[in-house]
């Protein structure tokens, strides 16, 4: 039995020490990118991959490595959801539903501008900004997540931030007041 194997016990102890450090940061990472149900599913899948590939987890950069795993698991879940959506669309044309409900991922009013601006970036640019701003990773940690060099991350992150700033600046509602002509002579 596997429980008699001292290597299995060491492996289990290592994972049990690692998992609590990963769960909450991964949960927040996924919650910012997916609806709650998908985030929970992907969290479970990510932890399963971490268990299976425990020997590959770098001891000094476990969280960035796990973010990379979570990104891949989330991409797989999103591809699956798109496939399911296409099947549902085909079924709906044959047998349309009587009512529709709002989809997942709807944001509160205050977050809408940011999410719309992020959507106007490329997928890579948006992910760089999210990892930097939301997960508070350094360029070298982001490099590990995205399989890039730290220098490439620094350059791309700078460009993505500037592009996001420009998008938000252009989309900002006009500030100030209308010019008044009261008290002036023409």
Q: Tens digit of pLDDT for each residue in 20-40?
A: 999 999 999 999 999 999 999
Q: What is d(CA 15, CA 22) in angstroms, rounded to the nearest whole number?
A: 10
CATH number listed for the domain at residues 110-172: 1.10.10.10
What pLDDT is recorded for position 170? 84
Identify the H or E element spanning 57: none
Local confidence band at 117 (pLDDT 50, 70, 90 cut-offs): confident
Q: Any idea where the domains of the chain sit in the sequence? A: 1-95, 110-172
CATH 3.30.365.10 fits 1-95, yes or no: no
Rounded percentage of the chain residues whose pLDDT exceeds 70: 78
Q: Report the pLDDT value the prediction gives residue 5, as an integer from 0 to 100.
A: 77
Is residue 131 within 8 Å of 145, Cβ to Cβ? Answer: yes
pLDDT above 80: residue 55: yes
77-116 pLDDT, tens digit per residue, is 999 888 888 777 776 666 565 554 444 444 444 477 888 8
Confidence of residue 171 (pLDDT cuts 50, 70, 90): confident
E strand or H helix that includes residue 36:
helix 36-52
Rounded to 10°, the helix 62-94/36-52 angle is 130
pTM above 0.75, yes or no: no
Largest CA-CA distance found in the chain, in angstroms, rounded: 97
First-to-last CA distance in the chain?
96
Tell me what percent of the residues of the chain surpass a pLDDT of 90.
53
Question: Computed from CA positions of residues 53, 59, 64, 67, in that sequence, does the dihedral angle turn out positive or negative?
Answer: positive
């Amino acid at each position: 039995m596997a429980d008699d194997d001292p290597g299995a016990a060491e492996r289990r102890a290592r994972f049990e020490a690692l998992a609590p450090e990963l769960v909450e940061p991964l949960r927040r990472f996924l919650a910012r990118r997916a609806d709650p149900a998908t985030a929970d599913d992907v969290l479970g899948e990510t932890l399963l991959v971490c268990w299976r590939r425990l020997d590959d987890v770098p001891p000094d950069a476990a969280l960035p490595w796990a973010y990379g795993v979570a990104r891949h698991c989330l991409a797989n879940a999103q591809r699956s959801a798109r496939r399911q959506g296409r099947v549902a669309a085909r079924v709906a044309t044959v047998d349309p539903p009587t009512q529709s409900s709002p989809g997942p991922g709807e944001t509160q009013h205050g977050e809408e501008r940011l999410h719309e601006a992020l959507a106007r970036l490329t997928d890579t640019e948006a992910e760089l900004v999210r990892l930097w701003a939301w997960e508070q990773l350094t360029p070298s940690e982001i490099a590990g997540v995205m399989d890039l060099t730290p220098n490439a991350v620094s350059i791309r992150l700078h460009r993505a931030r500037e592009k996001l700033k420009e998008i938000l600046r252009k989309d900002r509602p006009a500030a100030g007041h209308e010019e008044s002509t009261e008290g002036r002579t023409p």
